[in-house]
Each structure stands twice: as C-alpha cells, then as structure tokens.
Structure 1
C-alpha cells in the first residue's frame, strides 16, 4: 500500500488587534453611578449604620453583584470616597 503525504495547511491567522470576547453577561449597571449612590448613603448614615441591604436597594444591585463588583462593604466604602 502506498500512503499519500498529507499536505500541511497553514494555521488560521488570528487578528491580534481584535479584543478578546468577554465572558458572561454585560454589566447592567454603571459603576460610577453605583459608587455615587453608595457614597450618599455613607455620608447620611456613616459606615456602621449603612447596611448591605441599604446599599443593595440604593444601587439596584443584589448582594452577590455588589461583592463581585466592589468587594466587601469596607472596599465599597473606600472606593466610593476615592471616586
């Protein structure tokens, strides 16, 4: 039996300038708006008196989304004041 040599094909070229696709759903919130609303709550009641439920209702984000976007309550406090 005679085997035919397989021709090597060139690998597909990838456009390096194209940005990679992001996984998951796109953000449904504006980070600056959410930080502004959190800052308003922190200014009114202070850090200790502001609960995560208050922050969640003010920003329109649920708790897991708040943690995913900004970290814990302390980090959200720091980021909102740095903004």
Structure 2
C-alpha cells in the first residue's frame, strides 16, 4: 500500500471561496453555453465578423473627420500644426 501524504498543508492550497468573481464568471459562462438557442460561434467567423465591425467603425470615423476638415480647414490645420510642434518638442528631449 501507499503511504498517506503527511506533508504540511497550507491555507492557500484549499479554495473554499465558491462565490469568488472567477467562480461566478465560470458559472455564468457555463449557463450561456448550455442555452439551447445560443451556440458559441466558430473562432474564425467571430474574428471575421469583429474585423468587419472594426472596419465599418473606422470608415465612419474617417468620413466624420473628412467632413469636419472640409467644414473648417483652417481650424484643422492649426490643430495639426500645434500637435506637430508638441510631438517635435517631445521627440527632441
């Protein structure tokens, strides 16, 4: 027969906190996965969909910026000049 473990045990070895944030997240994730109508998306499709959302967001922001610059070109030029001067001063340090 094997001998029982007689080594020292530490309180950190035992996780008695069943209501920790990690445990709650695990239970919530399990509940979501067990729902019949919601199945997890394949990773490739999820990444493709998220990349499409990011692309649409970027295009929308670029169009908004373009419209703002066309509406007030002098103001946009002064902002760009000031930003360039500040970056130049930081880079010279």
Q: TM-score, normalised by structure 1?
A: 0.23
> Where is the helix percentage greater, Structure 1 or Structure 2?
2
Larger radius of gyration: 2
Q: Which has the higher contact order (CA 8 A, sep 6+)?
A: 1
